[in-house]
Amino acid sequence: MTTSIRATAVAAVLALAVLTVAPAAHAAPGDDRERPAPVPTESYHSGKSGKPSKPGRVRTKKWDVSGLRAKVLTTAPEPTARAGASRAAAPPAPTANDVTGDGRADLVAQLSGADAGALRVYTGNGATASNPWETTYTATPPQWEFADTLIIADVTGDNRVDVVVRDPSVNNGTLYVYPNDGSGSANPWPSRFAAGTGWNIVDRILVGDVTGDGKPDLLARNPVESSGTLYVYPNNGSVTSNPWTRSPIWSGNGWNLAQMMMLDDVTGDGKPEVVARDTTGALLVYPHNGSTTSNFWTSIVHGSTGGWSSADRLSMDDVTGDGRPDVISRDPSGALWIHPWQSATAGSMWSPTTRFAAGTGFEYALDVVTGDVTGDGKPDLVAHVARSGDLWLLPNTKAATGNPWPDRVTAGTDWGFASQILLADVNGDHLQDVLAVDKRLSNGTLWIYLNNGSTTGLRWTTRHFGGTGWNIFNHLMAGDVTGDGRADLVGRDSAGDMYAYPGNGSTTAFPWTPRAWVGSNWQTATRLALGDMDRDGIADLVDLENDGSLWVFPTGASTDPIVIPGDWTGTRSLGLGHVTGSSGPDLVVGDASGGLSIYANNGATSGNPWSSAPRSGGTGFQGAISLVL
């Protein structure tokens, strides 16, 4: 069998597996017809008032929900309220992002906890049948607060474990390598060099010697391409600059089947296998076929037939010292388990129930990985502390001047898993629900926390499944773009296309209908937000470009955008909400120092709505991963 034929067969098996296990209501976000491909039209005319002197790429942007609105308004039934909602008199048109029900936008902040952004290193103690790591740890400085991906591997070839991280906020995803300086200090990774940009297009990164030249290559999965395309970037030998500049090697399609992926030598031949957990909870092993220049994994065997669905993190290392990789799992309570290698028999390589405990309390960690950090031949444990574990509600005091959010109350803990948090009334009961994305689980799992209406306790205590595959989007927004009074979701993918998922008001099933394409050429936007600027009952789009310009795109296929004067470079967060009691949404921006500024809405529906000088919205938010209005 040739490589291409075998690869086709593998892809067919993967596709079949997806079709047999994925329920239609919870399918990946891309389960629709592809977007139309019109030639982008100019967004405004040369004589329009407010046009900047050099409009440039803004001319090519497309924001058009007219077709979607027509379809939704023709077919949508009236939304239903949640049974048992505790608020007695819900207003007919609730104010967006009003959590407390007083008509003003409140602030929800996901803020940093202890050791936020640090790496905790638990030294290996050599145990092979009990917890192999010391219970105490050393913590590095919080220099990895920005990182959304953490890998440890010997990148520089000096037999020391280096750190590889991704910063999703720099140049559409910049990789950095932190070489181990061999000092043996609490932080042996004090410096770094860049390893390329544009890595946000991939959702899984692994490092290992795939090509057999003794240098670590980089594996990356693109979830948007052909149901998940895997590429291998061969190492160029550099130890002081980007080692992965060579042309990537295509290594198969259909890899979105893998909810988790690992890389290790399972067969004992010195070549790394890909081990994946699929949607049934089985572990699949893809043996390395010996190739050094083309698709390296062209067959599949079962490593374990099932029982791994409850683990929210999986990794591999030889913890027991027998020369074969063991599986390290974390359960939802934060407990770690070692699953020792069992045999080379297909389906029985590891057992989900044959295991021993390896510590508890690791629910705080974004990543739990292993490697010999101390150089003593025993695998150490490295835990990446979440940037934020606590959620806070800052109620609006309705103050006419100064900071309207001076105090905060807890809204829950253990939110460190969330890469993005949104507020929206998902089920139409006029209470603000929380949407949280866990980008590390099943190619992006969305969780819906319905507001229980409490005014004295925690509001968001129970979560519901909101589908997987949301990592195809690098930005999500919530707002009513169809004009039916329901919260829709709008996502932007790495190509700059935008898709809308109309809300269907369901309280018992998937609350959004299949997506529709609503825009293109948005890849240059650094911040996007939805708000009804012209007060027509339909959310408009606010766009902060990477050149520092700020725009309002009123919803409609042919409506001209409005430029907001000023240089908005340095804006770290952007939100819209009825903060001051104005007739339209106010603009709230955060800067790098952690300060918030509020620009009150002046009531304009066709020009700049934020012309007055800003007032302070408070300080100390520089550690926030999410600031939501």
Residue 80, pLDDT > 50, answer no
Q: Is 436 helix (H, G, I), strand (E, B) or coil?
A: strand
Q: Please list the alpha-helical segments (H only) found in 31-88.
A: 66-75
d(CA 437, CA 175): 22
DSSP assignment of 323-346: SSPEEEEE-TTS-EEEE----SST
Q: Quick one: pLDDT at residue 175?
A: 96
Picking from 234, 153, 236, the residue whose alpha carbon sits closest to that of residue 189 is 153
Token pair listed for 405: 């959010």
Picking from 561, 438, 393, the residue whose alpha carbon sits closest to that of residue 56 is 561
Instruction: Calculate mean pLDDT across residues 177-200.
Output: 93
Run of H or E residues at 572? strand 571-577
d(CA 306, CA 563): 55
219 beta partners: 206, 232
Work out the burial of residue 493: count CB atoms within 10 Å of its CB; fewer than 13 is exposed, 13-18 middle, 19 or more buried: buried
Picking from 458, 544, 520, 446, the residue whose alpha carbon sits closest to that of residue 487 is 446
Q: Quick one: pLDDT at residue 53?
A: 31
Q: Quick one: pLDDT at residue 48?
A: 29
Q: Quick one: pLDDT at residue 491?
A: 93
Distances (CA, A) of 459 to 79, 409, 414, 575: 22, 11, 15, 22
499 beta partners: 491, 517
Residue 192, pLDDT > 80, answer yes
Q: Which of 113-117, 256-260, 431-435, 476-480 has the lowest mean pLDDT?
A: 113-117
Residue 570 CB neighbour total at 10 angstroms: 11
Q: Is 599 helix (H, G, I), strand (E, B) or coil?
A: strand
Q: Which amino acid is at 108?
A: V
> pLDDT tens-digit profile of 276-334?
999 899 999 999 999 999 999 999 999 999 999 999 899 999 999 999 999 999 998 88
Distances (CA, A) of 332 to 285, 313, 327, 329, 421: 24, 9, 16, 10, 20
Q: How does 2-27 read in b/e, with b if 16+ C-beta sit within 10 Å?
A: eeeebbbebbeebeebbeeebeeebb
Instruction: Calculate mean pLDDT across residues 245-258.
Output: 96
pLDDT band at 114 (very low <50, low <70, confident <90, very high): low
Q: Which of 109-113, 246-250, 498-502 has the lowest mean pLDDT?
A: 109-113
Residue 225 CB neighbour total at 10 angstroms: 16
Token pair listed for 65: 């929900």
3-state secondary structure 284-312: EEECECCCCCCCCECCCEEEECCCCCCCC
d(CA 268, CA 270): 6
> pLDDT tens-digit profile of 469-497?
888 888 899 999 988 888 999 999 888 89
> pLDDT tens-digit profile of 364-392?
787 888 888 888 888 888 888 765 566 77
Instruction: Calculate mean pLDDT across residues 123-143.
Output: 87
Picking from 230, 141, 228, the residue whose alpha carbon sits closest to that of residue 186 is 141
Contact 393, 95 (CB under 8 A): no
